[in-house]
Chains A and B, each alone.
Chain A
Amino acid sequence: MSFTLTCPICGPRNAYEFGYGGEDKGPRPDEKDLSPGDWCDYVHMNRCIAGESKEWWIHRSGCGIWFTTSRDTTCNLEVRGKAEEKDANPPLEKE
């Protein structure tokens, strides 16, 4: 893990400061009438694309924030400067 990731609080840091939180699959599906298969897919299935992947990462050794970022899985580099919606918890600013 030699690449860097950009923490929305702390800026670019060595990847080893971060923990991986999986692909960004969106909020939990409505649990009512959900088949076991569908639920299992939500929890365990990933797209695993060769290319740009939007993912959750936590700045584990730093400020502790969860955030989304895009990574090009073919070269293991963060895709920077993308004007996509960034999510974070705790939120970056007051709602």
Chain B
Amino acid sequence: MNRIDPLETFRIQPSQKISIQYGRKSYEGVAGDTIAGLLYGNGIRVFSRSLKYHRPRGLYSLDGECSNTMMRVDGMPNVRTENTPARNGMKVTAQNVAGKTADTDPMAFMDKLGFAMPAGFYYRTLHKPAKMWPVAIKKIRKAAGLGVMDPDFRIEGYFDEIYPTADVCVVGGGPAGMTAALAAAAPGLRVILMENRPWLGGVFDYRPAAYEGDLPLYQRAAHLARKIEETPNIRVFTHTAVVGNYNDNLVTAFQRGNETDPFDERYIEIRARSIVVATGCIERPLLFENNDRPGVMQVGCAHRLARTWGLLPGRQAVFSIGDDLGLEAAADLSDLGLEIACVADTRMDGQDETLIDALSRRNIPVYRGWIAYKAHGAKQVKKVTIGPLAGVQRQDIECDLLVASAGLTPLTGLLSTRQVELLFDRHTGFFLPAGLPDGIHTAGRMLGFQDSVKIEISGQLAGMEAAADCGFNAPGEIDSIKVRINAFPGPALGSKIVSAPVKGKKTFICFDEDTTLKNIDQAMADGFDVPELIKRYTSAGTGPGQGGIPGHNLPLYVAQTQQSPDQAPRSTTVRAPLIPTLMATYAGTQHDMCKRTALHDSQVASGGKMERVGVWTRARRFAEDTKALAEIKNVRHNVGMLDASTLGKFRIHGPDALKALQRVYVSDMDKIVDGRVKYSAMCNEDGCIIDDGVVLKQGENDYYFTTSTGRAGQTVEWIRYHTRYDHWDFNIVNLTDACGVINLAGPNARKVLEKVTTADVSNEAFPFVGWRDLTLADCIPARTMRLGFVGELSYEFHVPASYTQTLWNILEAAGKELGIQNFGLEAQNGLRLEKGHLIIGSESEQRTTLHDVGLGFLWDRKPDANTVGAVALTQTEHQKDRLKLVGIKMADASAAAPKDGSAIVDTKFQGYICTARFSEALNEPIGMALVKDALAEPGTELNIYEDSCNGQLLKAIVAKMPFYDSDGSRMKM
């Protein structure tokens, strides 16, 4: 492979060879090459086959504006090889072709069938008869498409995320972005500068044209980049695609890592006080017949291939351009060894005459007002037809490279995503922002500026304005900069030519979607007149490159073609992500934050089958038996221990603590008895039960209460919300994590407890629903409550979390000779079900009131408490046709328990099973269900529709609760 002699503008290390595999062959390149550049240097011209017509496609731009160079790289489909660095050993294959390379494609005949696929054909054809569509869509999908995702493909690499803080965020590392960053950093602000390419420099980076005097632009760019590097408060992110800009200056981006970075890609999110958008311009494609032929490329592409990578883009070239950058590139490329037959410039006048002179010195003819009409050649350009825009003269020129560009188009996506209105400017032909939101500034070429110094000064101004947003206002300096800017000539007249006057059958306005000018004409003939709708109808600009290729041309063409040419072109919508972003990048590091109790490790060591319960990880059971019957039996007949640490636990104190409790609890908390806990519930304003727990009074204006696991996170905010207008003086401390909870339950529980405390824990001294602050094992403080959720003699120890494991071990040792065992959530579930004790969320849903679950007796009609839910409780107390909580047994006691959630039906839905389990105590399935009140009487037969019951309804009978120990004597023993 031949490279041109080293230039100062190179971004490659020619001595460092690398090789990649494309198809079955190995190709050599050098460090710094992109994948597509490396292949181009090896003579590859066809990089892909197009979506619909399987037309050969080649290297066109270099910043990923279209899907032309998308390939499969190391198993990953749709990699933009034109801006992906080549790494040694990469395996690359072509996409949407039958073989491994794009050079030959058996589907190429599709190109001849274009006539059968007019605009909107998806919407209009193949639908009748309806049966045809599923068949057709299969065929279409197979023939068309981009890369194919292997279902087994697992993305490799490390995807990081970072949330750097900044005062000013500058997007675009070209001359304007760099001067903006320097100006914003001058008063000491924290500045972040982000650039899509792997280096700073932008449009200056590769160009030898003079900046001032003899100083070439690329040296000026290097000088600015050095200054940036020397400024400690500017942080630079290169190779970073900015993909979104949201309310209050939230900027999102992702950075591609290089080989020394610890990440492959990282997601970046910045909340800046001010933003400078200096994203510059890309080129507006020039349209003509076969404008997509490999060998046709944009000016910057040809110029940068040579200047940055040392690859001469062809041997014999024709230029068809509409901007001075094309003239400049022609002169420079000619000096680097490219033979240029001629330059066709769509503009009649307005060119920089020094560039015209430079070309004439090199004997390169410039034809003003001329344009390329057609590219010839099957797989790559062999010949070009050029001619004047007005006139019939045509000339064929043999060449292997056609450098074609209609002009420039500003990159305004970051403004569009902030709903900035973009208006067509008749002079430049650009869509320019009409007013910016506070805290956003623009600079550089995107405003139509061309003069190098003016570009830089506009950046400086934007940087100073951004600093002013952050409180460093220098009005005098800003004014004098504005005067300097105005002294420069205004933007040059921009060419608005979109296409040579051709029929447009093979003139592609959008490469990704194979949309031709003819398709656009068809859409307009079908009555679509707004570019946004034409875009949707023809799918132009909806492919991977989004608006990169057709974004500017489509509205220009539509406005020029339509009958009311006075109407200004209207731009199409742009949305984030502006550059396709991997889902893996958005997902980032995915730290899964889950809570563990103080007993987690010992629960796991004891064989606990752990599962996620809300924010917590808990042990569902300890044995293989999913019904956990052994654990249940042990609690019923002996003694077991449960880790109940996830219960919500709170202290509320202060002069108005009681008022706050009265507001949220349905019971009268003024009636709490010393030494006893009070069971109560909280409702929402609809009277629906949302939580239950116990409250105890530990001192004057000082209470301790528990909530269910699921409510622990919301309880403080619930109480504060429902007292928000009252200005009460009370304080809440969330002690959920501060205390571990061990539930010691079973008829032998007292025997275990007596071994670890000297206190009198007899039934007389410490009765049911009492609570005591005990000291266990001589020094562990344990708030101990006698509760009966599982229906046996039971103690609940609330101990400081750091002591919980120690106490657990002590209780385990104390209960060893009795055969104490762990029990988990499943056993607890079965035990409490036998008692008819409900779990909020299992036996209630958001429409279930306190009355519905039979807990209406908890409601004390407190006159002036304004208890949350009380109004609704009054109003719904005797409401008919509600779902009521009932116990059920199966008609056939030997049947299996129905699945939780199964519907109860007759001719219509009558309720559902909340929880049903096999009862160890009753030796038959039992359950709780919410059923229409008409069916709630004990003895009523219910029909249950279970998943996959094949229409065989299960029979159940409403039964009285509790199912077990109806007088509660076992809890009170």
Q: Which residues of A contact B (CB under 8 A)?
A: 2-4, 12, 14, 19, 21, 26-28, 31, 34, 36, 39, 43, 56, 58, 60, 64-66, 75-77, 87, 89-91, 95
Most A C-beta atoms less than 10 A away, residue of B716, B727, B731 = B727
Contacts of A75 in B (CB 8 A): 247, 419
Instruction: Assess whether B360 is interfacial by the CB under 8 Å rule.
Output: no
23 residue pairs of the A-B complex, CB under 8 angstroms, read A2-B246, A4-B247, A4-B248, A4-B271, A19-B717, A26-B725, A27-B725, A31-B866, A31-B870, A39-B875, A43-B685, A56-B724, A58-B717, A64-B720, A66-B717, A66-B720, A66-B724, A75-B419, A76-B247, A89-B720, A90-B720, A90-B731, A95-B729
Instruction: Please determine whether A31 and B871 come into contact, CB atoms closer than 8 angstroms.
Output: yes
Q: How far is B721's CA from A43's CA once the two chains are assembled, in angstroms?
A: 13
Closest to A36 in B: B875
Q: How far is B731's CA from A34's CA once the two chains are assembled, in angstroms?
A: 32
Interface residues of B in 720-741 (CB under 8 A from A): 720-721, 723-727, 729, 731
Instruction: Please determine whether A28 and B866 come into contact, CB atoms closer than 8 angstroms.
Output: yes
Contacts of B866 in A (CB 8 A): 28, 31
Instruction: Assess whether B630 is interfacial by the CB under 8 Å rule.
Output: no
Instruction: Assess whether B686 is interfacial by the CB under 8 Å rule.
Output: yes
Closest chain-A Cβ to B302's Cβ sits at a distance in Å of 40
Q: How far is B246's CA from A77's CA once the two chains are assembled, in angstroms?
A: 11
Contacts of A87 in B (CB 8 A): 724-725
Given the known interface contacts A2-B248, A3-B247, A4-B271, the answer about A60 and B724 at a Cβ–Cβ threshold of 8 Å is no
Given the known interface contacts A36-B875, A95-B729, the answer about A21 and B721 at a Cβ–Cβ threshold of 8 Å is yes
Closest to A60 in B: B717
Interface residues of B in 912-959 (CB under 8 A from A): none
Closest chain-B Cβ to A62's Cβ sits at a distance in Å of 12
Instruction: Assess whether B872 is interfacial by the CB under 8 Å rule.
Output: yes
Q: How far is B246's CA from A93's CA once the two chains are assembled, in angstroms?
A: 34
Main secondary structure of the interface of A (DSSP, over half): loop
Q: How far is B685's CA from A48's CA once the two chains are assembled, in angstroms?
A: 20
Q: How far is B248's CA from A43's CA once the two chains are assembled, in angstroms?
A: 32
Given contacts A75-B419, A89-B720, 18 further A-B contacts (CB under 8 A): A2-B248, A3-B246, A3-B247, A14-B271, A21-B724, A28-B725, A31-B870, A39-B871, A39-B872, A56-B724, A60-B717, A66-B721, A75-B247, A89-B721, A89-B724, A89-B726, A89-B727, A90-B720
Instruction: Assess whether B810 is interfacial by the CB under 8 Å rule.
Output: no
Q: How far is B871's CA from A91's CA once the two chains are assembled, in angstroms?
A: 27
Query: Which single member of B721, B724, B725, B727 contacts A95 (CB below 8 Å)?
Result: B727
Closest to B723 in A: A89
Closest to B866 in A: A28
Closest to A28 in B: B866
Contacts of A76 in B (CB 8 A): 247
Instruction: Please determine whether A64 and B717 come into contact, CB atoms closer than 8 angstroms.
Output: yes
Contacts of B871 in A (CB 8 A): 31, 34, 39
Q: How far is B439's CA from A12's CA once the two chains are assembled, in angstroms?
A: 15
Q: How far is B290's CA from A77's CA once the two chains are assembled, in angstroms?
A: 48
Most B C-beta atoms less than 10 A away, residue of A21, A31, A58, A90 = A90
Contacts of A66 in B (CB 8 A): 717, 720-721, 724
Closest chain-A Cβ to B683's Cβ sits at a distance in Å of 12
Interface residues of B in 341-367 (CB under 8 A from A): none
Q: How far is B419's CA from A75's CA once the two chains are assembled, in angstroms?
A: 10
Q: How far is B731's CA from A26's CA once the two chains are assembled, in angstroms?
A: 23
One digit per residue, 1 when the CB lies within 8 angstroms of any chain A CB and 0 when it does not, for chain B 847-878 equals 00000000000000000001000111001000
Instruction: Assess whether B478 is interfacial by the CB under 8 Å rule.
Output: no
Instruction: Assess whether B12 is interfacial by the CB under 8 Å rule.
Output: no
Closest chain-B Cβ to A12's Cβ sits at a distance in Å of 8
Query: Which single member of A2, A27, A31, A43 contacts B250 (CB below 8 Å)?
Result: A2
One digit per residue, 1 when the CB lies within 8 angstroms of any chain A CB and 0 when it does not, for chain B 240-251 equals 000000111010
Closest 8 CB pairs between A and B? A2-B246, A27-B725, A3-B247, A89-B724, A4-B248, A43-B685, A2-B250, A2-B247
Q: How far is B724's CA from A34's CA once the two chains are assembled, in angstroms?
A: 21
Closest chain-A Cβ to B454's Cβ sits at a distance in Å of 33
Closest chain-B Cβ to A23's Cβ sits at a distance in Å of 13
Contacts of B731 in A (CB 8 A): 90
Closest chain-B Cβ to A37's Cβ sits at a distance in Å of 10
Instruction: Please determine whether B248 and A77 come into contact, CB atoms closer than 8 angstroms.
Output: yes
Q: How far is B726's CA from A49's CA once the two chains are assembled, in angstroms?
A: 27
Contacts of B721 in A (CB 8 A): 21, 56, 58, 66, 89
Contacts of B685 in A (CB 8 A): 43
Closest chain-A Cβ to B436's Cβ sits at a distance in Å of 14
Contacts of A28 in B (CB 8 A): 725, 866
Q: How far is B717's CA from A80's CA once the two chains are assembled, in angstroms?
A: 25
Contacts of B720 in A (CB 8 A): 58, 64-66, 89-90
Contacts of A58 in B (CB 8 A): 717, 720-721
Q: How far is B248's CA from A90's CA once the two chains are assembled, in angstroms?
A: 28
Q: How far is B246's CA from A1's CA once the two chains are assembled, in angstroms?
A: 9
Q: How far is B438's CA from A77's CA once the two chains are assembled, in angstroms?
A: 12
Instruction: Please determine whether A91 and B250 come into contact, CB atoms closer than 8 angstroms.
Output: no
Q: How far is B721's CA from A27's CA once the two chains are assembled, in angstroms?
A: 11
Q: How far is B247's CA from A76's CA once the two chains are assembled, in angstroms?
A: 8
Closest chain-A Cβ to B593's Cβ sits at a distance in Å of 12
Closest to B730 in A: A90
Closest to A76 in B: B247
Q: How far is B727's CA from A87's CA once the two chains are assembled, in angstroms?
A: 9
Contacts of A12 in B (CB 8 A): 248
Contacts of B723 in A (CB 8 A): 89
Contacts of B271 in A (CB 8 A): 4, 14
Q: How far is B419's CA from A30's CA once the two chains are assembled, in angstroms?
A: 45
Q: How far is B725's CA from A39's CA once the two chains are assembled, in angstroms?
A: 17
Closest to A30 in B: B866
Q: How far is B686's CA from A36's CA once the two chains are assembled, in angstroms?
A: 11
Closest to A89 in B: B724
Closest chain-A Cβ to B451's Cβ sits at a distance in Å of 36
Most A C-beta atoms less than 10 A away, residue of B248, B727, B875 = B248
Closest to A78 in B: B248
Closest chain-A Cβ to B489's Cβ sits at a distance in Å of 37
Closest to B717 in A: A58
Interface residues of B in 668-689 (CB under 8 A from A): 685-686
Contacts of A3 in B (CB 8 A): 246-248
Closest chain-B Cβ to A46's Cβ sits at a distance in Å of 14
Q: How far is B250's CA from A26's CA once the two chains are assembled, in angstroms?
A: 33
Closest to B864 in A: A31
Closest chain-A Cβ to B253's Cβ sits at a distance in Å of 14
Contacts of B686 in A (CB 8 A): 43
Q: How far is B419's CA from A95's CA once the two chains are assembled, in angstroms?
A: 44
Q: How far is B686's CA from A64's CA once the two chains are assembled, in angstroms?
A: 25
Q: How far is B716's CA from A34's CA once the two chains are assembled, in angstroms?
A: 29
Contacts of B250 in A (CB 8 A): 2, 14
Q: How far is B866's CA from A65's CA once the two chains are assembled, in angstroms?
A: 22
Contacts of A2 in B (CB 8 A): 246-248, 250
Closest chain-A Cβ to B249's Cβ sits at a distance in Å of 9
Closest chain-A Cβ to B713's Cβ sits at a distance in Å of 9
Given the known interface contacts A43-B686, A87-B725, the answer about A77 and B717 at a Cβ–Cβ threshold of 8 Å is no
Given the known interface contacts A31-B870, A39-B875, the answer about A91 and B248 at a Cβ–Cβ threshold of 8 Å is no
Closest to A43 in B: B685
Closest chain-A Cβ to B697's Cβ sits at a distance in Å of 22
Contacts of A64 in B (CB 8 A): 716-717, 720
One digit per residue, 1 when the CB lies within 8 angstroms of any chain A CB and 0 when it does not, for chain B 437-456 equals 00000000000000000000
Closest to B731 in A: A90
Contacts of A77 in B (CB 8 A): 247-248
Q: How far is B875's CA from A5's CA once the two chains are assembled, in angstroms?
A: 38
Q: How far is B875's CA from A53's CA once the two chains are assembled, in angstroms?
A: 31
Q: How far is B724's CA from A26's CA once the two chains are assembled, in angstroms?
A: 10
Contacts of A95 in B (CB 8 A): 727, 729
Q: How far is B872's CA from A31's CA once the two chains are assembled, in angstroms?
A: 11
Contacts of A65 in B (CB 8 A): 720
Closest chain-A Cβ to B425's Cβ sits at a distance in Å of 26
Contacts of B875 in A (CB 8 A): 36, 39
One digit per residue, 1 when the CB lies within 8 angstroms of any chain A CB and 0 when it does not, for chain B 698-734 equals 0000000000000000001100110111110101000
